[in-house]
Every structure is written in structure tokens, then in C-alpha cells.
Amino acid sequence: MTKNGKRILIALGGNAIKQAQEKGTADEQFKNVSITAEHIVRMIQALGNDDRLIITHGNGPQSGNLALQQDIAKEQIPPQPFDIVGAMTQGQIGYMMQNTLENMLTARGIKVPVISVVNQVLVDRNDPEFFGENASKPVGNFLTEEEAMKMKAEKGWIVKKVKPNAPKPWRRTVPSPDPIANVEAEAIKVLVNAGTVVIASGGGGIPVVQEDGRLVGVEAVIDKDLAGERLAEVVNADVFLVLTDIEKAKLNFGKPTESSIDAMTLEEAKRYLSEGHFLAGSMGPKVKACIRFIEWGGKEAIITSLDKAMDAIDGKTGTHITKG
């Protein structure tokens, strides 16, 4: 099918669903999703008839909390592995996004179908993330150093400092294998081509490997931005919009010489990434995903905050990455 119009893939950060200081109640999460949906609806209203919008999202706080909840109740109810936890949080967040968007679109008289899909993403069983202390994906709540060391000692968690200047800079990390392909790609393409706003690859997708011709779930959480880039390829996106909690990516993040980046060429982005300007488990995967998107053939990747999304699309703010 020949593509007409512009296609924008939005990769939502965890702050679109749960703020760091919140407990994560359903009311809190629905309130955050409502704020997020307001921005998305404005984007939908600005689209032409042939334009398409695709959404993916993180699930770090939700999957971490759900895993902890199951660990606490393990004497009564068997805890589920991380692929099942991923599927459960995909359903949870997908429902909240879908429900809120549908209500807002209906209230505005906009007839655009919205659907969230339970979506698997293929990874390699021999990915380095599965070995030793390599696990790099932060999940669950932010922790103090004391809390992190206690969890490491008591539960065997791998914990890492992921946000240097935060009051609670530590988080649990789990294997985050590199996404190879989106398993439900063909079904997603059909939905997007038909004009549906598709919510897919939630939390980076449910991680699966191929064994003897079968798909088998594995204990991991795929980075949502890297998986989102694979989804962007599937839907033939023009713009990859990575929304996080800061307006622009930074050079020398957390240092006295910190500075905002307005634009990067592909080669500049590669150089800055190799020089260590972007933290692993934080801005690093976002920039890496943007690099892959441009290398694949995408026109533009943008990193910005949720509240600046429309301005960033219009070129007024954000960090813009192009081929050069």
C-alpha cells in the first residue's frame, strides 16, 4: 500500500502515566493519562485525513510495582514471570490510554478509532543483557542508596544509579535485550493504514525468543524507545517523537558544563553517544533509538517533554535529530 500523508510515532515516557513522587493509584494514573491524552488529542486534531498517529509507552513503574506486589504475596499466589507482567501492564496502560482517548475524542465529536494491542517483540536468547550484572533496564520506584542496597541483599536485585541528581537516584534493573522485530507487525500495519490510532509495543513489547519454531516468553523488559523505533519502521513513520521529562537532551548531563542540545546530525548524535554524554538506562537508549530511526530512513527524530510536544513538532523547541 502506498503511504500518503505524515506518520508520527509517539514514544511516551513513564511520567505520562505515573510521576516519581506518586504511589501509583488508579486515580493518580488516570489523572496523568488524562493530561497526556489532552496533548495527543490536540495532535490528532492537527492531522490531515491521510496523516497517522501511533503511540507506544513505557511501563517501568507499573511492571516494577506489580513484580514487587507479587513477590510480597508469593506465599499465597504464585508470582508471574516478567513476560506475563509485561502483558498485564500492557493491558492496564493500554486500557487507560484507549479509554481516555476515546472519551475525549467523542466529547469533541472526532470520529477516529483507537485500539491498544497485546504486542510481542522478538529478542535474542544470547543477548549480553541476560548475563552477569549487565541488566540495564530500570523498573519500579526510585530508591535511596540504602533502600537499593537492602533490596540487593535481601532479594538479589541488580540495582544501579540512574538519575545522579535525584533525591532517590537508584532503581532496580532487569535484562533489557535489544529488540529484533515486532511480532504482530502485519496486523498493526493494517490497523494504521485503515486510519486507526494504534497503541502498541507497550513497555517495549512482551519479550519473546524463537525456540524450535515457537515463540517463548523470557524474563526481561525491553527498552520502550528501542522497541518503539522498530515499531516506527513497521508503520513507515516519518517522525519519531520521544517524549520524556525534559525539554531537550543535554551534553555533559549533571555536570557544571551541562548544556541543552537544539539539533544534532546523525554523526553528531553517534559521537555524543560514544563519548558518554547520555546515561545508559535513561537518555542513552532514547538517543540510540533516534539514531537507528534516522539510519533506517526516518526523516526526523525529536526528543522533548510531553507539554512541549506540539511546539517541538512545529520546530520551536526540543532536540531534533536528522541525517544532516
Give residue-wise pLDDT tens across range 211-269: 999 999 998 999 999 999 999 999 999 999 999 989 999 999 888 999 999 999 999 99
What three-state secondary structure class fits 71? helix
Q: Looking at residue 150, what is its pLDDT?
A: 93
**73 Ramachandran zone, left/alpha/beta (phi>0; psi -120 to 50):** alpha
Give the pLDDT mean for 7-15: 90
* Residue corresponding to grid cell 507506544: 56
Could you tell me the pTM of the whole model? 0.90
Residue (of 158, 173, 147, 156) closest to 281 by Cα position: 173
* CATH code of the region 238-324: 3.40.1160.10
What confidence tens digit (pLDDT) does each residue in 114-151 have? 999 999 999 999 999 999 888 888 777 789 999 999 98
* CATH code of the region 11-34+53-122+182-231: 3.40.1160.10
Distances (CA, A) of 295 to 138, 201, 244, 275, 305: 26, 21, 22, 19, 23
Residue 24 — pLDDT band, cuts 50, 70, 90?
A: confident
Residue 3 — pLDDT band, cuts 50, 70, 90?
A: low
Higher-confidence position of 279 and 310? 310
Catalytic residues: 14-15, 137, 224, 286
Residue 36 — pLDDT band, cuts 50, 70, 90?
A: very high
The segment(s) of the chain belonging to CATH 3.40.1160.10 are 11-34+53-122+182-231, 238-324
Residue 195 — pLDDT band, cuts 50, 70, 90?
A: very high
Q: Looking at residue 281, what is its pLDDT?
A: 67
Q: In what order do the strands lie in the sheet with 319-322?
A: 114-116, 197-199, 52-57, 7-12, 239-244, 300-305, 319-322, 263-265
Residue 18 — pLDDT band, cuts 50, 70, 90?
A: confident
Distances (CA, A) of 159 to 82, 210, 268, 284: 17, 29, 31, 18
DSSP state letter for 135: -
